[in-house]
A and B are shown apart, each in its own frame.
Chain A
Amino acid sequence: AQSVTQLGSHVSVSEGALVLLRCNYSSSVPPYLFWYVQYPNQGLQLLLKYTSAATLVKGINGFEAEFKKSETSFHLTKPSAHMSDAAEYFCAVTGTSYDKVIFGPGTSLSVIP
């Protein structure tokens, strides 16, 4: 069965520091993977997606993620955190028949000035 785990329900970083949000997945079929961001009282916005074209994926707002099949990971990084990055981040994987997307529990990112 497909599943997603996100290590750390809450992560705090200083402004200008590296952001690293961890995501591990389980999939019985070739996965498509996604990172979404959610600001308070808003819907989710797609940050980036992995579709097997390239293992290093660049997204919006300076974020990128690397697909590592051997580690079943898809960690999200950003070299330098900005105050505006404070939000909830969700990792997601396609379902076995690609008719659904399975979301992780989310990681709340705080940025300390």
Chain B
Amino acid sequence: DGGITQSPKYLFRKEGQNVTLSCEQNLNHDAMYWYRQDPGQGLRLIYYSQIVNDFQKGDIAEGYSVSREKKESFPLTVTSAQKNPTAFYLCASSARDRGSYEQYFGPGTRLTVT
């Protein structure tokens, strides 16, 4: 089955530590996205990538970093510079061809930093 996997489902870290969230897709999609969701809030775009080895900042990129070395993978690092990292993180991908712009989402990673 094709889809998007995010691991782990729950992640706990101490304040001041960097942490990397995994996102893998086997849908052969060119575009991938990272969103942050806080309780009762909508989705806020952190970073996105349209093609391998290229990515763009979203609305709330400060304190985060990404890489796109492979088409299938788009890991997100939450750095110690992120002031309030505790949140639910969602990864998505999109084909963006032939008018197919819908995004497909992974199950999410809930990060708790204490």
Residues of A bordering B, CB below 8 Å: 32, 34, 36, 41-46, 49, 51, 90, 94, 98-101, 103-106
Contact = CB atoms under 8 A, between A and B. Distances in A.
Contacts of A100: 33, 45, 48, 58
B43 A103 contact: yes
Nearest to A4: B42
A101 B50 CA distance: 13
B45 A44 contact: no
B106 to A, nearest CB: 5
Nearest to B4: A43
B105 A45 contact: yes
Interface string B99-114: 1011111111010000
Contact of A43 (B45, B48, B107): B107
B90 A43 contact: yes
A57 to B, nearest CB: 12
21 contacts: A32-B101, A32-B102, A36-B105, A41-B110, A43-B90, A43-B92, A43-B105, A44-B43, A44-B103, A44-B105, A45-B105, A90-B42, A98-B96, A99-B48, A100-B48, A101-B101, A101-B103, A103-B43, A104-B42, A105-B42, A106-B41
Contacts of A105: 41-42
Given A99-B31, A99-B50, A94 B101 contact: yes
Interface of B: 4, 6, 31, 33, 41-43, 45, 48, 50, 58, 88, 90, 92, 94, 96, 99, 101-108, 110
Given A32-B101, A101-B94, A105-B41, 13 more contacts: A32-B99, A36-B105, A41-B110, A43-B4, A44-B92, A46-B104, A90-B43, A98-B101, A99-B48, A100-B33, A101-B102, A103-B43, A104-B42
Given A90-B42, A104-B42, A105-B41, A41 B102 contact: no
A103 B99 contact: no
B52 to A, nearest CB: 15
